[in-house]
């Protein structure tokens, strides 16, 4: 048992998953992740390096991952913006790594110590071009530990950057948690080529996908394989190409390795949805406010169901549609700390199945139970 804040639990989860390299730059409200990584990594034979800026922090993580280490960086709003070009590089070059964004109020420097959930669309579309994205949002300190482990597993399994989309509420929340036994923690390591290169090492096809699979194996630099890594569209050898057919195959595979495995990637939680008068969709730290509001609503005879995406991207579209249709839900309230982002996804997904309403806040404060309750009452009583 330990009393930890979410940022500290994130580091413990990362180390449990096998993280042995962290590079980053201090920024509120994620700095404790860097501080704790600096303290803990040397204890397990890992490396910590503070870089000159957020761009370099992301680049160093890419380099460490190529060299065979599980790598992580952590930041908040302005730093997350700076990392975007290199996140795109990791996506196209298929380099596994974990990027933690402890969201704070913006834009620009904004309110550095205040909570927000306004980076969810940036997590999906922040880097340019069509690209695969996995983003996860924990709602408690213990879940931060578990979800961090899962972020590394997904990064390694699908050779892709994974975004841990925390918020200041969870990052700085302290809770007593009990760590799972090491034997209970599932760890996934990247697949490596089965055979060493024979003859000319330049003949190794780094991006050739084995039959029946969608993710190529990944050797570490220094293990006897030689191959090119680039941010350009490339062929199986890793070298740039302008061939439209090759570009189409490669780009489509990048997207499909996520789209074709949504059942493995997506996690969500449903609570009290059967026979509910209204469904509240929320995520991250705002869940805690919604839980309190649900109890207040019950005292007034209103049954409130809760749908919580843990995997924000890819969004659990089919699960939400099934939940609404199966339970004949006609009113959905999206509660989030922004001006209206995930509510747009909900409207797109549900269409005429249910009416989506929104409750948000962008003044740096949290949502309070009475505010959520009042909005629930307003929506329930509306036509």
In angstroms, how far apart are the furthest CA atoms of the chain? 76
- pLDDT score recorded for residue 159: 98
- pLDDT score recorded for residue 374: 98
Contact 306, 290 (CB under 8 A): yes
Does some domain include residue 257? Answer: no
Which of 165, 184, 203 is the C-terminal boundary of a domain? 184
Same domain (yes/no): 284, 177: no
Same domain (yes/no): 30, 160: yes
Instruction: From first to last of the 383 residues of the chain, give the pLDDT tens digit.
Output: 899 999 999 999 999 999 999 999 999 999 999 999 999 999 999 999 999 999 999 999 999 999 999 999 999 999 999 999 999 999 999 999 999 999 999 999 999 999 999 999 999 999 999 999 999 999 999 999 999 999 999 999 999 999 999 999 999 999 999 999 999 999 999 999 987 767 666 678 999 999 999 999 999 998 888 899 999 999 999 999 999 999 999 999 999 999 999 999 999 999 999 999 999 999 999 999 999 999 999 999 999 999 999 999 999 999 999 999 999 999 999 999 999 999 999 999 999 999 999 999 999 999 999 999 999 999 999 97
Same domain (yes/no): 276, 156: no
- pLDDT score recorded for residue 32: 98
Does some domain include residue 191? Answer: no
Same domain (yes/no): 133, 276: no
Task: Specify the number of domains making up the chain.
Answer: 2
pTM: 0.96
Does some domain include residue 240? Answer: no
- Locate 346 and state its tokens: 């909900």
Give residue 285's domain range. Answer: 270-381
Does some domain include residue 148? Answer: yes
- pLDDT score recorded for residue 201: 63
- pLDDT score recorded for residue 1: 87
Which of 143, 165, 184 is the C-terminal boundary of a domain? 184
Does some domain include residue 247? Answer: no
Burial 151-183 (b: 16+ CB within 10 A, else e): bbbbbbbbbbbbbbbbbbbbbbbebebebeeee
Q: What is the CA radius of gyration of the chain?
A: 21
The enclosing domain of 11 has a CATH number of 3.40.50.970
- pLDDT score recorded for residue 180: 94
Same domain (yes/no): 169, 312: no
- pLDDT score recorded for residue 10: 98
Contact 116, 362 (CB under 8 A): yes
Planar angle of CA 265, 269, 271, nearest 5 degrees: 165
Does some domain include residue 293? Answer: yes
Same domain (yes/no): 61, 176: yes
Does some domain include residue 10? Answer: yes
The enclosing domain of 292 has a CATH number of 3.40.50.920
Same domain (yes/no): 35, 140: yes
C-alpha pair distances (Å), 287 with each of 59, 91, 306, 376: 34, 30, 9, 15
- pLDDT score recorded for residue 383: 79
- pLDDT score recorded for residue 29: 98
Beta bridge partners, 136, equal 164, 311
**In degrees rounded to 5, what are phi and psi of residue 176?**
-80, 125
Same domain (yes/no): 278, 178: no
Which of 139, 165, 184 is the C-terminal boundary of a domain? 184
Same domain (yes/no): 9, 135: yes
Does some domain include residue 193? Answer: no
């Amino acid at each position: 048992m330990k009393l930890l804040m979410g940022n500290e639990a994130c580091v413990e989860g990362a180390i449990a998953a096998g993280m042995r390299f962290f590079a980053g730059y201090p920024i509120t409200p994620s700095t404790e992740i860097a501080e704790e990584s600096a303290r803990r990594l040397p204890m397990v034979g890992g490396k910590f390096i503070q870089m000159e800026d957020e761009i370099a922090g992301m680049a160093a993580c890419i380099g460490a991952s190529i060299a065979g280490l599980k790598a992580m960086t952590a930041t908040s709003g302005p730093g997350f913006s700076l990392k975007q070009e290199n996140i795109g590089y990791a996506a196209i070059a298929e380099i596994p790594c974990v990027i933690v964004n402890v969201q704070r109020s913006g834009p620009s420097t904004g309110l550095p110590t205040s909570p927000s959930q306004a980076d969810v669309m940036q997590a999906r579309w922040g880097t340019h071009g069509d690209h695969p994205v996995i983003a996860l949002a924990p709602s408690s300190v213990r879940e931060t530990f578990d979800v961090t482990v899962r972020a590394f597993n997904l990064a390694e399994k699908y050779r892709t950057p994974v975004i841990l989309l925390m918020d200041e509420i969870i990052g700085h929340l302290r809770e007593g948690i009990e760590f799972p036994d090491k034997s209970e923690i599932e760890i996934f390591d990247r697949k490596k080529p089965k055979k060493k290169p024979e003859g000319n090492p330049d003949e190794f096809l780094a991006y050739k996908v084995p039959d029946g699979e969608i993710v190529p194996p990944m050797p570490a630099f220094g293990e006897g394989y030689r191959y090119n890594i680039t941010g350009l569209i490339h062929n199986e050898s890793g070298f740039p190409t302008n061939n439209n057919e090759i570009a189409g195959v490669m780009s489509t595979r990048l997207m499909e390795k996520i789209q074709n495995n949504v059942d493995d990637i997506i996690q969500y939680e449903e609570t009290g949805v059967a026979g509910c008068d209204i469904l509240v969709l929320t995520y991250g730290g705002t869940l805690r406010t919604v839980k309190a509001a649900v109890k207040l609503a019950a005292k007034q005879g209103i049954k409130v169901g809760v749908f919580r995406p843990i995997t924000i991207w890819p969004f659990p579209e089919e699960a939400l549609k099934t939940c609404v249709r199966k339970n004949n839900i006609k009113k959905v309230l999206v509660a989030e700390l922004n001006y209206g982002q995930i509510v747009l996804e909900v409207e797109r997904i549900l269409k005429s199945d249910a009416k989506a309403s929104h409750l948000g806040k962008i003044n740096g404060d949290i949502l309070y139970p009475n505010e959520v309750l009042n909005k629930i009452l307003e929506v329930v009583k509306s036509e």
